Amino acid sequence: MAVHAHPDDESSKGAATMAKYVADGVEVLVVSCTGGERGDVLNPALKDDPEILRDLPDVRRREMAKAQEILGVQHTWLGFVDSGLPEGDPLPPLPEGCFALEPVEVSTEALVRVVREFRPHVMTTYDENGGYPHPDHVMTHVVGMSAFRAAGDPAAYPHAGEAWQPLKIYYNQTLSKGRILAFHDAMEQAGLESPYGEWIARWEDRGERTITTRIPCAEHFPTRDRALLAHATQIDPEGSWFMVPLEMQQEIWPTEDFEAALSYVPVEPIEDCLFAGLASLAEADALARKGGLELHYDGTSKDAS
């Protein structure tokens, strides 16, 4: 189960990994916490399209359905309202009723219901910084971690279904500093313009996260790109997402990377599978139903970079 803030996040973070597991016969569910209602049209070619401007939320729902079909995943909307990205100095208050202002117990219960219905063995979400500090991304981290802990507790949200404890939860770390630097250097060495100069300048003092898990999935990068392009209002096909040639990406960085956060089974870096450490399906199911499990790995106890 991949827990994301907005439609399009699933296609820019871990999409090739999801496509790989779908191809391997694994059930994958994407949860979109919000509908992206307060997003802007980021594709210059569509920014003045009257149909899009008339009902952007509906357009984004249709884009999500197309991306879902391309990736082969299941999908559900958690039903909360996009908080928008506040800009200005001082920052304006968040809009009333938005996801980032929802009581955590309300949004946690909503996600716990989905967890207990879908019964994932593994979850993914964002780190405590949200991947980047959008209020919905930060709240997605809070709610994702809260639901992971609560789903297996029969005393927590007892009306939200039978307890089920996912065994591992990871943070998406596809947009890592190391990966961006590697692409930047490769582009310059090839005599191509790198789109990452400004990123690197902004990240000068940024530390590197702990990567525990690298999923080989280069053959699914084309599927990832098609899913990303399905979000046509959000993605400029001439923009930075597609400036690094696909073959260069597959050669230099053929994995999508994750950071183990919490796990009820041992985590042995560097893993090459999100299901590493899990026994047979029957044994994993028995563990997930057992409850009261002892953590084997707690990456959340470390200081963030």
Detail the residues annotated as belonging to a binding site for Zn(2+).
6, 9, 137
What is the rounded CA–CA span in Å between residue 270 and residue 202? 28
DSSP assignments along 6-19, one per residue: STTHHHHSSHHHHH
Whether a cis peptide bond, with omega within 30° of 0, leads into 270 is yes
State the binding site: 6, 9, 137
What is the rounded CA–CA span in Å between residue 271 and residue 252? 19
DSSP assignments along 13-50, one per residue: SSHHHHHHHHHTT---EEEEEE--TT-----GGGTT-H
Contacts of 173 (CB under 8 A, 6+ apart): 127, 209, 211, 257, 258, 259
Handedness of CA 214, 227, 206, 122 (dihedral sign): negative
* Main-chain phi, psi angles of 290, to 5 degrees: -65, -45
Task: Measure CA 273 to chain center.
Answer: 16
Q: Are 74 and 2 in contact (CB under 8 A)?
A: no
Q: Are 108 and 143 in contact (CB under 8 A)?
A: yes
